[in-house]
Structure 1
């Protein structure tokens, strides 16, 4: 998934959003923890660094999903109120011209 994002960014010229960049930082932290474990041996601080990187990526991705969800909810609320308004207008027009 991450390799496709890099290919899409470099080949097609698509710039990632800031939240995507922050998720990539979480991946890089996890990768650094893996490299530290391989080069310096297994140590609890390396695992802690990997866990922190995973938590950073998880929190940013949760924020991104909630942001998109809230935008969808706002659009649905606007649509609902527009429908109610139009229904009120359609019901009010015959009342004004009833004579």
Structure 2
């Protein structure tokens, strides 16, 4: 009975790790879409948040591809802590803005940096729960479960790499090789 329980627990944790990665990748894609379609250039703190999100996902991708290890959850939690600190800094910068004008448009009533701070807390809580629930810290990952798992993990890693490259290209087009302006109004290099 306990072996069946552990098998389902390991598969569930592997699936949730994949959901976490896809969720963060979707957040990065949505931020890029908003950047282009609404002409919202990200501020330096927004760019730091994107970088911290990528740092947060890399250890979880390692858990998906290789055997899950508690060290990866710890690294992801530290990156989420950094992400939350950056996002809360931006929240506190705009806390006294009249009528919640803040920086950029809102999504479902909150600014993107508020959503990011909420996401960071959820990721930290999730990583703590999962790492305390794991009895076998080197449990098989989603990649080793079957052929579908290999394809899903490979596509997820490829999607992450493409999203990261897209963010590097858009950051370069906005800032070049110099410090980004506090309130950007145009691209330095047109795409």
Relative to the length of structure 2, the TM-score reads: 0.34
The structure showing larger relative contact order (alpha-carbon pairs under 8 Å, at least 6 residues apart) is 2
Q: Does residue 1:30 correspond to 2:61, yes or no? A: no
How far residue 71 of structure 1 moved from its aligned partner, in angstroms, is: 5.5
Deviations 1:4-53 (A, max 9, x none): 21102234443201111111112111210111101121112111111011
Length, aligned pairs only:
72
Partner SS state of residue 9, structure 1: helix
Partner of 2:73: 47
* Structure 1 unmatched runs, 5+: 73-99
5 Å matches for 1:63-82? 63-70=89-96
Larger Rg: 1
Aligned structure 1 segments of 4 or more residues deviating by more than 6 angstroms: none
* Structure 2 unmatched runs, 5+: 1-26, 99-191
Counterpart Cα distance in 1 of 2:38 and 2:91: 24
Greater helix content: 1
Relative to the length of structure 1, the TM-score reads: 0.62
